[in-house]
């Protein structure tokens, strides 16, 4: 299953499946079934009731269209879900029907289901991140000696190596993923508080049931329910947005290197990718384009989420109800950017000859700084700088100095930085 056509540039097939109707419903039913089993273990409900509820918690037994329609009427999918699940249980064992959703509230179902979906998303993102990191490491190693123009403010600058550039991308993605992973660790926690976040309906068994439920679902047990405290989710979404922005920086660099007049890099060729509907000659940076779109989309979604964090008292009116599209949108943005740049990095073609020729095309102008350093001991720094500026203004090139325009001789600590970045990512 893939996403709707309207969202086809903003999602991946794998993550579309995670946030499609079946898995979303399954996650909510998983909560209800796990709750029943946990309560049975703690002696709150009978074993037979937990068994009946678990058997009835199957998505195929539910009418998705009707559930969607009723969710809009109820303001939450949990209310019609519980009614439908209760009817399913009653049809199989009337004695068990009264034990469905015991002690829980609607937000417990919705929030924990979201956490379960985030856990699935993490696994998908982590696999693509590892692929991307491996591809960037390979590029950084293979092109350790591939000299190219440095570019500052979109103008030619002293040379660097493509190996250093790729290592820089890798460093940013590593730091970004460390943030994402730590925020996932924090956010993947149970939501279970009942009506006012006290589990009063469970008497003195609330804490026991909470611990058993967290164990059933394999989630962290928080210190207390977090109905109106959305900081963990916000921190995760912020980390994902930063990670996506770093992917966007990499995408922008590669798209600029792909410009016809630059021609130093190109995305891999594949069926249906990179072409133009009107111009057969074009090789468009499609993967970079999708990544840039995601990087532009995520900050607005994050701002909307943070804007909804000031929530009223113990449970909010409109705050958490706004979150599902925002959370899925940010996760999907990170996913499509990551999948796109992984494909790009794994097949990226680098033209090292063109990189060197673009340095040569500056007629040594990018070595002006080096010329000043060379002349300064004899002329003084200010006079040396003026001499170089005058020469470039008059001839387009600095004064002739032996070995001035050898890029390998003016790389400074580029290789040391490249190695340090790769060591950090070992």
**CATH code of residue 47:** 1.10.275.10
Measured CA to CA in angstroms, residue 389 lies from 151, 362, 367, 411 at distances of 19, 14, 12, 22
The pLDDT, as a whole number, for residue 426 is 60
Q: Are residues 143 and 280 in the same domain?
A: yes
Q: What is the pLDDT of residues 33-86, one digit of tens each?
A: 999 999 999 999 999 999 999 999 999 999 999 999 999 999 999 999 999 999
Residue 306 has pLDDT above 80, yes or no: yes
Q: Is 1 inside a domain boundary?
A: no
Residue 286 has pLDDT above 50, yes or no: yes
Tokens of 25: 């419903």
Mean pLDDT to the nearest integer, 349-366? 97
The DSSP result for 266-309, as a single string, is EPPPBTTBS--SS-TT----HHHHHHHHHHHHHHHHHHHHHHT-
The mean pLDDT value of the chain amounts to 94
Residue 281 has pLDDT above 90, yes or no: no
Tokens of 310: 């000031």
Residue 275 has pLDDT above 70, yes or no: no
On whether the CB atoms of residues 145 and 163 are closer than 8 A, the answer is yes
Exactly one of 8, 182, 270, 276 is catalytic; which is it?
276
Q: Is 280 exposed, middle or buried (0-12, 13-18, 19+ CB in 10 A)?
A: exposed
The pLDDT, as a whole number, for residue 6 is 81
Residue 343's CATH number:
1.20.200.10
CA nearest 265: which of 166, 132, 147, 355? Answer: 355
- Nearest-Å Rg of the Cα atoms of the chain is 29
Is residue 315 annotated as a catalytic residue, yes or no? yes
Q: Are residues 281 and 370 in the same domain?
A: no
Tokens of 63: 């009418």
The pLDDT, as a whole number, for residue 277 is 47
| DSSP code for 398 | P
On whether the CB atoms of residues 63 and 242 are closer than 8 A, the answer is no
The pLDDT, as a whole number, for residue 274 is 54
Exposure class string for 55-66: b at 16+ Cβ within 10 A, else e: ebbebeebeeee
Q: Is 4 inside a domain boundary?
A: no
On whether the CB atoms of residues 244 and 179 are closer than 8 A, the answer is no
Q: Is 196 inside a domain boundary?
A: no
Q: Domain tally for the chain?
A: 3
Supply the range of the domain harboring residue 390: 362-424
Residue 366 has pLDDT above 60, yes or no: yes
Is residue 276 annotated as a catalytic residue, yes or no? yes
Exposure class string for 237-262: b at 16+ Cβ within 10 A, else e: bbbbbbbbbbbbbbbebbbebbeeeb
Q: How confident is the model at residue 328 (pLDDT cuts 50, 70, 90)?
A: very high
Residue 278 has pLDDT above 60, yes or no: no
Exactly one of 266, 315, 340, 418 is catalytic; which is it?
315
Q: Are residues 134 and 173 in the same domain?
A: yes
The pLDDT, as a whole number, for residue 311 is 94
Q: Are residues 292 and 353 in the same domain?
A: yes
Q: Is 308 inside a domain boundary?
A: yes
Q: Are residues 243 and 156 in the same domain?
A: yes
Q: Of 329, 361, 393, which residue is a domain's last?
A: 361
Ramachandran category for residue 2: left, alpha or beta (phi over 0 → left; psi -120 to 50 → alpha): beta
The DSSP result for 170-215, as a single string, is HHHHHHHHHHHHHHHHHH-B----TTTTS-GGGGGGHHHHHHHHHH
Q: Are residues 265 and 335 in the same domain?
A: yes
Q: What is the pLDDT of residues 406-418, one digit of tens each?
A: 999 999 999 999 9
Q: Is 199 inside a domain boundary?
A: no
Tokens of 151: 């570019």
Residue 375 has pLDDT above 60, yes or no: yes
The pLDDT, as a whole number, for residue 1 is 52
Q: Are residues 132 and 232 in the same domain?
A: yes
Q: Are residues 173 and 294 in the same domain?
A: yes
Q: Is 197 inside a domain boundary?
A: no
The pLDDT, as a whole number, for residue 203 is 96
Mean pLDDT to the nearest integer, 217-226? 98
Q: Are residues 209 and 258 in the same domain?
A: no
Q: Are residues 94 and 153 in the same domain?
A: no
Q: Is 3 inside a domain boundary?
A: no
Q: How confident is the model at residue 248 (pLDDT cuts 50, 70, 90)?
A: very high
- H helices then E strands: how many in the chain? 15, 4
Residue 271 has pLDDT above 80, yes or no: no
CA nearest 243: which of 175, 190, 311? Answer: 175
Q: How confident is the model at residue 4 (pLDDT cuts 50, 70, 90)?
A: confident
Q: Are residues 174 and 301 in the same domain?
A: yes
pTM for the model stands at 0.94
Q: Is 14 exposed, middle or buried (0-12, 13-18, 19+ CB in 10 A)?
A: middle
Q: Of 313, 336, 361, which residue is a domain's last?
A: 361
Q: Is 239 inside a domain boundary?
A: yes
Between CA 284 and CA 267 the distance in angstroms is 8
On whether the CB atoms of residues 371 and 398 are closer than 8 A, the answer is yes
Q: Are residues 160 and 271 in the same domain?
A: yes
| DSSP code for 62 | S
């Amino acid at each position: 299953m893939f996403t709707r056509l309207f969202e086809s540039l903003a999602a991946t097939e794998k993550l579309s499946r995670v946030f499609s109707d079946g898995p979303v419903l399954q996650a909510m039913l998983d909560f209800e079934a796990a709750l029943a089993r946990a309560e049975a273990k703690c002696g709150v409900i009978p074993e037979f009731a937990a068994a009946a509820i678990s058997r009835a918690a199957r998505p195929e037994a539910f009418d998705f269209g009707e559930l969607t329609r009723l969710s809009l009427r109820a303001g939450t999918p949990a209310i019609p879900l519980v009614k439908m699940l209760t009817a399913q249980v009653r049809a199989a064992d009337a004695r068990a029907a009264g034990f469905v959703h015991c002690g829980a509230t609607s937000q417990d179902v919705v929030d924990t289901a979201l956490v379960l979906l985030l856990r699935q998303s993490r696994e998908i993102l982590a696999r693509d991140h590892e692929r991307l990191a491996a591809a960037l490491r390979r590029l950084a190693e293979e092109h350790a000696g591939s000299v190219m123009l440095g570019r500052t403010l979109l103008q030619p600058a002293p040379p660097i190596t493509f190996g250093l550039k790729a290592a820089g991308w890798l460093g940013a993605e590593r730091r970004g993923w460390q943030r994402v992973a730590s925020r996932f660790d924090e956010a993947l926690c149970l939501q279970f508080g009942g009506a006012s976040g006290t589990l009063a309906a469970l008497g003195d068994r609330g804490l026991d049931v909470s611990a058993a439920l967290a164990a059933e679902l394999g989630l962290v047990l928080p210190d207390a329910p977090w109905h109106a405290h959305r900081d963990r989710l916000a921190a995760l979404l912020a980390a994902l947005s930063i990670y996506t922005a770093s992917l966007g920086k990499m995408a922008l660099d590669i798209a600029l290197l792909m410009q016809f007049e630059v021609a130093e890099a190109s995305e891999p060729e594949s069926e249906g990718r990179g072409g133009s509907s009107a111009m057969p000659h074009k090789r468009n940076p499609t993967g970079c384009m999708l990544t840039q779109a995601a990087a532009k989309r995520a900050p607005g979604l994050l701002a909307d989420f943070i804007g909804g964090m000031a929530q009223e008292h113990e449970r909010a009116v409109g705050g958490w109800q706004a979150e599902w599209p925002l959370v899925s949108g940010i996760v999907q943005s990170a996913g499509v950017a990551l999948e796109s740049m992984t494909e790009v990095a794994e097949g990226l073609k680098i033209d090292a000859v063109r990189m060197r020729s673009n340095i040569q095309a500056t007629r040594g102008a990018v070595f002006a700084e080096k010329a000043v350093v060379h002349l300064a001991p004899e002329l003084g720094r200010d006079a040396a700088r003026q001499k170089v500026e005058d020469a470039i203004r008059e001839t387009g090139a600095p004064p002739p100095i032996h070995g001035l325009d050898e890029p390998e001789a003016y790389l400074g600590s580029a290789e040391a930085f490249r190695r340090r970045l790769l060591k950090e990512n070992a």
